[in-house]
Amino acid sequence: METITWHNFEQVELRAGTILEAIDFPEARKPAFKVRVDFGEFGIKWSSAQITKHYTKENLVGRQILGVINFPKKQIGKFMSEFLVTGLADENGDIVLAAVDKPVPNGSKLI
């Protein structure tokens, strides 16, 4: 494992946001949803996430997640992803969202 400096870590904009909408992403190579997330002062952004095993579109709305918002936009097919949804793989390799335990203001930075 390579170590990084505290300065490197501080450059990562890992922010809390609330999912406003989740829709199917049938064009994705692996099953995924498109999610629209409110990051407070940083705006509303879209991303895709391969989280269909543990979540439904309905139970994603209103959930707070953690996202990296300062990566460059990424083209995924005809869709432009504006941030990275964070999560962890379970024992089967299915993604479980990284999330906050109690509500925090949208845009809060992980420190």
Q: What percent of the chain has pLDDT over 90?
A: 93
Q: Where are the domains of the chain?
A: 6-97
pLDDT in tens, 18-71: 999 999 999 988 999 999 999 999 999 999 999 999 999 999 999 999 999 999
Task: Return the pLDDT at 91.
Answer: 98
- The mean predicted confidence, pLDDT, of the chain is 96
3: buried, middle or exposed (CB in 10 Å: 19+, 13-18, 0-12)? exposed
pLDDT value at residue 77:
84
Regarding the domain with residue range 6-97, which homologous superfamily does it belong to in the CATH classification?
Nucleic acid-binding proteins (2.40.50.140)
Segment 92-100 mean pLDDT:
95
Q: Which residue in 71, 100, 97, 66 sits closest to 83, CA to CA?
A: 71
**Pairwise CA distance, residues 32 & 23, whole Å:** 9
Work out the end-to-end distance of the chain between its first and last CA atoms, rounded to an integer number of angstroms: 21
Helix (H, G, I), strand (E, B) or coil at 9: helix
